[in-house]
């Protein structure tokens, strides 16, 4: 499938295009990773596909290979951030689950003890 066009009104598409600045920690062919502007842990990085899909379910349906890339990038970020094997990966899906930006993104959180259950 041809990747969907970037959406002009999507903040993360604009970060992919370089129109909005971000603290990028990894830039690959199909994924980029950048620091969350409002970090909830000492390490809080967002890993996103460069293609625009609203959430992880849409990405899995249309570009399953990109899902693998997201997780591979998360592992690289965990390594480069020195998180070892102590970190959390989160996809908020839907407003009631806390999703505010409707371009697929994975939160990589670590660097402090993380409680469960989440809020
Ligand atoms: P979510 O609530 O799962 O949709 O996550 C969206 C995340 O994007 C939040 O943690 C925000 O702090 C983060 N965010 C919003 N704007 C920016 C930005 N310009 N650069 C980096 N992170 C951002
Ligand atoms: Zn987008």
What is the rounded average pLDDT of the residues 50-78?
Answer: 98
Task: Please identify which residue in the block is written with the tokens 């971000």.
Answer: 22
Check 26, 52, 103, 105 and give the catalytic one: 105
pLDDT of residue 1: 60
User: Is 44 part of the annotated catalytic residue set?
Assistant: no
Task: Please identify which residue in the block is written with the tokens 């990085």.
Answer: 45
Q: Measured in whole angstroms, how far is the alpha carbon of residue 33 from the centre of its chain?
A: 6
Average pLDDT over the chain reads 96
Q: How far does residue 20's CA lie from ligand 2's centre (Å)? A: 12
Confirm if 34 and 46 have CB atoms less than 8 A apart. Answer: yes
pLDDT of residue 5: 84
pLDDT tens figures, 73-87 = 999 999 999 999 999
Ligand 1 atom nearest 92 alpha carbon: 3
């Amino acid at each position: 499938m041809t990747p969907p066009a970037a959406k002009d009104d999507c903040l993360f598409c604009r970060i992919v295009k370089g129109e909005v600045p971000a603290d990028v920690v990894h830039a690959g062919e199909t994924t980029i990773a950048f620091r969350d502007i409002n970090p909830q842990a000492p390490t809080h990085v967002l890993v996103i596909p460069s293609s625009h899909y609203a959430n992880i379910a849409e990405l899995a349906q249309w570009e399953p290979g990109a899902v693998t890339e997201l997780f591979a990038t998360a592992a690289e970020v965990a390594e480069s951030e020195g998180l070892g094997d102590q970190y959390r990966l989160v996809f908020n899906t839907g407003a009631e689950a806390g999703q505010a930006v409707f371009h697929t993104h994975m939160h990589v959180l670590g660097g402090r003890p993380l409680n469960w259950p989440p809020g």
